[in-house]
Amino acid sequence: MPEDHRPAKSVRVLLAEDQGMMRGALALLLGLEEDIEVVSQVATGDAIVAAALEKRPDVALLDIELPGRSGLDAAEDLREECPDCRVLILTTFGRPGYLRRAMEAGAAGFLVKDGPVEDLADAVRRALRGETVIDPVLAAAALSAGPNPLTARECDVLNASVDGATVSDIAARLHLSESTVRNYLSSAIGKTGTRNRMEAVREARQQGWL
């Protein structure tokens, strides 16, 4: 919609999505709303804060799995660097663990991508008004799932295992002893009810704990 047809105060939106077609479609659909203006589009997580500091959006719509830095990590960065910017997590992966992490990161809402665009536009407006917007089915699932049983260090060790790294590699990467790494891996495997670390990584990701 032409700029002069918009209200004097449009909601300024930053959109972070790594898939170009999806990013373009979301920007186009949101741009059709008279009171919403997409002021910035980024494809990587590590570009979010710089774009927000430059464009000063009112609301940031962030995917979770982004190159460089996850949307959840970027949400924490925005809370520090751009406290006036409200964050909505928009993801394909409606996992209870992701919802809990998003709320801990200060996000104003958590939505899945298969919802209607009208709901997304409404969520942007509601977030700007200070409301918390959460997919109700996912909220119920998160309550029943309980908190993440893994400690921060156990998550670090599992994340360092995803590329098939050896215990020695993980120890060097995280500045830990090899025996400490083995202890963390053993604990994480036990907590996830799996048989080995790769199964533990898969289960933790499926739950949204990583």
Looking up tokens 């719509």 gives 61
**Who wins on pLDDT, 86 or 65?**
86
Report the 3 state secondary structure along 144-155.
HHCCCCCCHHHH
- For 1-12, how does the pLDDT look when each residue is reduced to its tens digit (9 = 90+)? 444 455 556 899
Position 83 scores a pLDDT of 92
Position 97 scores a pLDDT of 76
Query: If you average pLDDT over residues 104-128, what whole number do you get?
Result: 87
Position 82 scores a pLDDT of 94
The pTM for the full model equals: 0.67
Task: Say yes or no to pLDDT of 145 above 70.
Answer: no
**Who wins on pLDDT, 208 or 120?**
120
How many C-beta atoms surround the C-beta of residue 206 within 10 A?
A: 13
- For 68-87, how does the pLDDT look when each residue is reduced to its tens digit (9 = 90+)? 999 999 999 999 999 999 99
Residue 102 pLDDT grade (very low, low, confident, very high; cuts 50, 70, 90) = confident
CA angle 160, 161, 162 (to 5 degrees): 100
Task: Say yes or no to pLDDT of 143 above 80.
Answer: no
Task: Say yes or no to pLDDT of 50 above 60.
Answer: yes
Query: If you average pLDDT over residues 56-76, what whole number do you get?
Result: 93
Query: If you average pLDDT over residues 121-140, what whole number do you get?
Result: 84
